[in-house]
Structure 1
Amino acid sequence: MMREDEISFTAKTDLLIAHYGESYLKSQKRERKEYSCSNKMRELARLLITYRASVNDNSIAFKDLLHPEKFEGVVSATRKLSGFDPINKTYEAPSTALHMGTSLKVVSDELIHLILKRSPGFICESPEKSLEWRKNVKNFKMLVGTRWNTEISSVANKDLNEKRWERPLLVPLIDDVKMFREKTLEFAKECQKHFLENTDTDDTYKLFVNCTLALLVLFNRRRIGDVQYLKIKDYLSERKTNFKDFESTLSEGEKILTKHYKRVLNGGKGSRAVVILVPEVLQDFLNLIIKKRDKYISADNKYIFAIPNSKIQWSQADVAIRYLTKKMKLKNPAAISSNRLRKHIATTMQILSMSQQDCKQFSKFMGHTEKTHEEFYELPVDIYQTAKVVKLLILMEEGIPTQHKGKSLSEIEINLNEYVDEMQPESSESAIQQEQTENHEGDENEKRRLNYLDTDEENNDVPSKKRPKTKKQAWSIEEIALIQKHFGNDMKKGRYPLSSEIKKFIASNHSKRSVLQIKAKMQHLMTKQKAN
């Protein structure tokens, strides 16, 4: 099951790692867990190899590491193994650093079990030495439980989270998904034609199986393991309910859908039952696979997606999808994967007004909880998030009016023109610079300044570059006095009041000035105060 290299040799020859793998397999039911077991054993073997290299001693066994005095060495080896950068406090493989602590706890329990059983290779000379050995292992496990988070997990978890949100949002493009489906269907139908003409070969059968598997993953947006491990007996078995009361709650269109899509139950992650919905076209493909499989697949293979001349009993969906994407001219082929397709549909759900019950049923279908759906699959869409959140923040700045009570953000419409004007930094700076320039040129009347902004409301929608020249309205002594009276404290502190306060000032004094014009005048007055 393992690759033949130094890591596999170490894993197989170290007694404790071998016993750990044996115990792991005992706790699992499905045979495909052998691959997971292999990964865990190789991970421990890599830690042992790294530790041996650090102390320059190849005679050390893994059982020798589980001692309180070796804890610091194990921590250092784990950091080196996971690519820790002490300056930037980052990991190349933070997930490895995270779950190594859990593996060490399990291995410690396994070692105590072997010592108590006096298994070959773990027999002590006396009960006292056995007790002392078990005590050291327990103390090592206690150190892992109390110090691993401080030494390793805390920084590794933060680094993992940072890398997750720093990673660009990569979801499949609709055009790519459509092209992938259409091209894969074409490949499958070509293979189907070869079967009908009896010109099929091993390659034909393999391509047909991979196309069907990829299309089923694509349609259901399921994990690859939920689909690729489907067994023939599970596909052929009928598990239908006869609850007529539920049928009455469905619309006519929904009743038609239940007749054209086959519902298949399969064992998924954590031995949970997962649902696979099979369209009619894929039902035809699967029936043809079952019909022709005797020619290519041995009778003892019970998996429906088995491929010829393979050491593995099932086809690997991720490999099949990557192989098919290379045969197409997609804009972003890397985004076509099981995990990203699941995130794609979960993210798209944010646009729909789904009830809590709908979300619950959808999460069950996807094979995870609602919390997992929200935390790991429902990605924030920058455009959607920005538009909705900015609208809410603008409403909060003014206070949510009573007419918006009970409405969703999508139902609320607000006039954003004035907010957009206020958020134009270039325009604001131009206004200030223009006014300062005019004042610097020496207007004879210091109490009357010309403002570059035109108060004619008809010209507000005209871009600044194309705006026709208009007569500028001078500031009166009364206007300046009102600004100094209402906003004198703010100007003394060198700050601007809130836009909402300026709007109240405009409304109460029936001013024809805009918020931006008043801010520009305040800037000029504050500059003048500093100069004096």
Structure 2
Amino acid sequence: MRHDDIYDAVVSDKLILQFGKVLINQLGPRRTHNISQRMRQLARLKIQLNQNEGNTSKELENYISPQSFDLIVDAVKQLAGFDRNEQQISIFNIPSLAITIGHNLVKAAEILRGVALRTNDELVKKGADDFLQLHSGEWTTSISSIALASLRTNKFNKPSVLPITSDLVKLKLHLDTEIEKMIKEVEMSPDMTAWRTLAEVTLVRVILFNKRRGSEVSKLLKVTYESRPNWKQSINEEVYGVLKPVEKELLKRLQLVETQGKRNNKSPILLTEKMVQALDILSGEKFREACGVLKSNPYIFASQNSLENINSWQAMNKQAKLAGCQQPELISSSRLRKYIATISQLLHMEDHELEWLSRHLAHDINTHKSHYRQHDAAIEIAKVGSLVLAADEGQLSRFAGKKLSEIDVSEFLLPDLGKYKAVDDRDILDIELNAGVTAEETVSGPDECQEDYVQCRSNSKEKKRKQSTDETVSSSSNKKQKLATDNQQKVLERLRKLEGRRQKEKSGLNKASETSDPFDFTDDDQDYVYSNNEEDPSEDEEVEKVEEQKPKKRWSVEENSLFKRIFFQFLEKKTMPPGSTLIAAQKHLTSRSVAQIRTRVHNVINGKQKLS
């Protein structure tokens, strides 16, 4: 506590000291700063009361009586700046101070009554009881209602400015780079400067990813992190079974640690693999001792030569400026929480999904209680993990109007998942030979590519057949249409078998002889009946053979040069670009399809192709 006149008023008053002792026992040393501020508020009230009384030197307990209640109301109005606005409505210039002093007075009166009961002082006990009764009946109309109204009106015509998405993405890239760099530096030559930098960038990265209160993350205890359970072993099988593949992958990649939050609530923190690697170093005794961190400091993000933790706001502001953000002053933990709460409104979230997000942010939600569901580690990591990962990539707006269960973040994980296999450009070209493939279908995920292939080849065949059909249909066409539908089903079945054989040949599971023909459908064609408006498919098979023999179109020097300029950043970091980037690139590489461009990026990243 700062040494001044208010400090002297605190240490000279028994009731204020007892007030601080009770709060320390209740809230613990973690809230020391908040407790000292509340003690100073009571001291300021005592000083104001003594000035109004003619510079007396009474202690606070002398004013805890019904006779002094009106004096206290007047003193609080003076401290909080009571006034009337242009509409002659009562307001407070500092409404939060008036509200807080009201809570502190109730606590102080209860402490005084407890002291009187212990000392059997009936006079003091009666005075405290009568004061509390007056406070309960009149404080709301005299102080609280005016202060709360002032808080609301102060927010009028003051828009809540949120951080810029591009700034958050820029900060994220900066932090990821710094974390990798500082991990290597601390491991090679540990010192306090490198350790402190690693602690700051990791602290900011965890806050940025989770959108948590800065104090909750910065006060993460070393023992709490080290004793975190392996949530994967305790996940309910039924919950795990209904998760999507990408959500199951998130369960493997993300870890969860729970720490103490506001009002002693559980505060879950999600950690990526890189965060865990950095936190392992920050919590390791070998590195902490080599870097000069005090052994008695319980925090992972320990401050230098003290028992305190690193200030989260100062660290975040510093890193935002180093990252070159346009408006670093807008990046704070409280604004990040408003950001995720505001941006998530773009999604079509169910009530229980809002409950999941609210719990992750440690917010209270008092509506739709009937939709409460068990919020275990699997939901925290898989469901909320998808949301925060999309927001972390600055891509949450792409999922506007979707439910939380419809958010697919697989493209952000694909570089490591290895879901893409080496695909021939000619195979991808075959997918888009028909004109019915849209851009959205082309950018579909890897699991959908094979289904698109079968459907597109089916569409292509049917278009060729339709070109050779008669324009006129007889009145007895119902029977022919039924026959055509049956034939279409058989065509699709043949194409599925074709796709299965091709996949087996690529994976080496089916080692057919060189003379075998993968397009041989002799067995399947035996029971196929051709309608009057269909031609024999032998011509189509000849067309397919011509397509199979068609040589691949090589990438020209100009195309390679343009390809490098567009995807330089992604190739350097070996990450797959999002679908929007691929679609934009296709507008420049007009002779290539989106699927071809995506395949080439993947193969170059994995070293299966080289840029000439």
1:72-102, Cα deviation, whole Å (9 max, x unpaired): 2211211121122245533222111112222
Aligned-partner Cα distance in 2 for 1:333–1:233: 33
SS in 2 for 1:32: helix
205-214 vs 320-329, which moves further: 320-329
Q: Secondary structure at the match of 2:259?
A: strand
The residue that corresponds to 1:409 in the other structure is none
Aligned to 2:95: 94
Any conservation in 2 of the 1:97–1:152 contact (CA below 8 Å)? Answer: yes
2:249 to 256, 273, 276: 256
For 2:157 and 2:57, the matched residues in 1 are separated by 43
C-alpha separation in 1, matches of 2:69 and 2:301 = 46
Q: Tell me the amino acid that sits aligned with residue 65 of structure 1.
A: Y
Alpha-carbon deviation of 1:298? 1.8
Distance in 1 of aligned mates of 2:318 and 2:368: 29
Structure 1 residues 372 and 49: alpha-carbon distance in aligned structure 2, compared to 1, 3 A threshold: farther
Shift of 1:150: 1.4
Is the Cα contact below 8 Å between 2:15 and 2:112 reproduced in 1?
yes
Partner amino acid for 1:294? E
In the alignment, is the contact (CA less than 8 A) between 1:225 and 1:269 conserved in 2? no
Indicate conservation of the 8 Å contact 2:351/2:368, yes or no.
no
Whole-Å separation in 1 of the counterparts to 2:152 and 2:78: 20
Return the letter of the residue paired with 1:38. S
Write out aligned runs for 1:383-532 (5 A): none
In 1, the alpha carbon distance for the partners of 2:317 and 2:56 equals 40
Amino acid aligned to 2:7: S
Matched, 1:153 2:141: no
Structure 1 residue 329 corresponds to structure 2 residue 324: yes
Name the CA shift for 1:54/1:324 in 2 (closer, same or farther; >3 Å).
farther
C-alpha distance after superposition, 1:204-226 (max 9, x if no partner): 22221111011101100111232
Matched, 1:315 2:310: yes
Aligned pairs for 1:164-203 within 5 A: 164-198=155-189, 200-203=190-193
Deviates more, 1:137-146 or 1:16-25: 137-146
SS in structure 1 of the partner of residue 29 of structure 2: coil
Flag the 1:370–1:335 CA change in 2: closer, same or farther, 3 A.
same
For residue 71 of structure 1, what is the amino acid of its counterpart? F
Matched, 1:4 2:3: yes
8 Å CA contact 1:209, 1:307 repeated in 2? no
- The alignment's TM-score, normalised by the length of structure 2, stands at 0.56
Distance in 1 between residues matched to 2:230 and 2:219, nearest whole Å: 18
Preserved CA contact (<8 Å) 2:183 2:198: yes
Whole-Å separation in 2 of the counterparts to 1:64 and 1:57: 14
Instruction: Name the SS of the counterpart of 1:56 in structure 2.
Output: coil
In the alignment, is the contact (CA less than 8 A) between 2:116 and 2:122 conserved in 1?
A: no
Question: Residues 302 and 133 of structure 1: is their aligned pair in 2 closer, same or farther, counting only changes over 3 Å?
Answer: closer
C-alpha separation in 2, matches of 1:22 and 1:277 = 35
Pick from 286, 301, 322 the counterpart of residue 297 of structure 2: 301
Offset from partner CA, 1:187-213 (integer Å, 9 cap, x none): 333433422431x43232222111101
Q: Secondary structure at the match of 2:267?
A: strand
Deviation at 1:32, TM superposition (A): 0.5
Unaligned runs of 5+ in 1: 119-126, 375-383, 389-532
1:67 CA displacement = 2.1
The letter for the 1-side match of 2:98 is A
* C-alpha distance after superposition, 1:139-174 (max 9, x if no partner): 222221111111111111011011134322211110
**Conserved? CA contact 1:214–1:317, under 8 Å:** yes
Give the equivalent residue in structure 2 for 1:246.
239
| CA–CA distance in structure 2, aligned partners of residues 373 and 93 of structure 1 | 35
Q: What does residue range 366-381 of structure 1 map to in structure 2 within 5 Å?
A: 366-371=361-366
Cα drift, residue 373 of structure 1 = 12
Q: Kindly tell me: are residues 162 and 108 of structure 1, through their superposed partners in 2, closer, same or farther at Cα, counting changes over 3 Å?
A: same
Contact 1:11–1:17 (8 Å) recurs in 2: yes
Letter in structure 2 aligned against 1:113 = G
Number of the residue aligned with 2:223:
233
The answer as to 2:78 corresponding to 1:80 is yes
Q: Pick from 336, 339, 360 the counterpart of residue 334 of structure 2.
A: 339
Farther-moved stretch of structure 1 (66-75 vs 82-91) = 82-91
CA shift in 2, pair 1:90/1:373, >3 Å? farther
Unaligned stretches of 5+ residues in structure 2: 370-396, 402-612
Return the alpha-carbon distance in structure 1 between the equivalents of residues 333 and 9 of structure 2: 34
Partner in structure 2 of residue 489 of structure 1:
none
CA contact (8 A) 2:82 2:93 kept: yes
- Aligned to 1:164, what secondary structure does the other structure show? coil
The aligned residue for residue 393 of structure 1 is none
- CA–CA distance in 2 between the matches of 1:213 and 1:290? 13
* Cα distance in 1, alignment partners of residues 35 and 368 from structure 2: 27
Identity %: 27
| In structure 1, C-alpha distance between the alignment counterparts of 2:45 and 2:199, rounded to whole Å | 39
CA RMSD of the aligned region, Å? 2.4
Shift of 1:279: 0.7
Contact 2:99 2:147 in 1 (8 A): yes
Matches within 5 A, 1:126-137: 130-137=121-128
Q: Please give the alpha-carbon distance, in whole angstroms, between the structure 2 residues aligned to 1:350 and 1:298.
A: 45
Q: Residues 372, 189 of structure 1: CA spacing in aligned structure 2 closer, same or farther, 3 A cutoff?
A: farther
After superposition, give the CA deviation of every residue in 1:90-118 in whole Å (9 maximum; x if it has no partner): 32221111122221111111111112222
2:457 aligns with none
Letter of the 1:231 counterpart: L
Q: Work out whether residues 75 and 151 of structure 1, in 8 Å CA contact, stay in contact via their aligned partners in 2.
A: yes
Structure 1 residues 66 and 86 mapped into 2: Cα distance closer, same or farther (>3 Å)?
farther
Find the aligned partners of 2:365 and 2:202 in 1 and give their Cα distance: 29
What TM-score do you get using the length of structure 1 for normalisation? 0.64
Asked if structure 2 preserves the Cα contact closer than 8 Å seen for 1:75 and 1:152, the reply is: yes
Partner of 1:490: none
* Letter matched to residue 301 of structure 1: N
2:294 touches 2:305 (CA, 8 Å); kept in 1?
A: no
Q: Cα deviation per residue 1:270-292 (whole Å; 9 max; x = unaligned)?
A: 22222111011111111121231
Contact map agreement 1:205 1:307 (CA 8 A) in 2: no
What secondary structure sits across from 1:27 in the alignment?
Answer: helix
Match of 1:268 among 239, 258, 261: 261
CA distance in 2, matches of 1:140, 1:15: 19
Q: Does 1:208 find its partner at 2:204?
A: no
1:105 maps to 106
The Cα offsets for residues 459-497 of structure 1, whole Å up to 9 and x where unpaired, read as xxxxxxxxxxxxxxxxxxxxxxxxxxxxxxxxxxxxxxx
Moved more, 351-360 or 325-334: 325-334
Deviation at residue 265 of structure 1 after TM alignment: 1.6
Check whether the contact 1:346–1:373 (CA below 8 A) recurs between aligned residues.
Answer: no
Matched residues in 1 for 2:71 and 2:264: separation? 38
Please report how far the alpha carbon of residue 35 of structure 1 lies from its aligned counterpart in structure 2 after TM superposition. Answer: 2.4
Deviations 1:348-396 (A, max 9, x none): 111101111211112112212224999xxxxxxxxx9xxx9xxxxxxxx
Shift of the 91–207 alpha-carbon distance from structure 1 to 2, 3 Å rule, reads farther
Alpha-carbon distance in 1 for matches of 2:207, 2:368: 18
- Aligned residues of 2:171 and 2:320 also touching (Cα < 8 A): yes
Paired with 1:85 and 1:31, the residues of 2 have a C-alpha distance of 37
Alpha-carbon distance between aligned partners in 2 of 1:329 and 1:84, rounded to the nearest angstrom: 43
Map of 2:439 onto structure 1: none
Tell me what 1:70 maps to: 68
AA aligned to 2:269 is I
1:283 is the counterpart of 2:276? yes
- 1:394-445 deviation line (CA, Å, top 9, x unaligned): xxxxxxxxxxxxxxxxxxxxxxxxxxxxxxxxxxxxxxxxxxxxxxxxxxxx
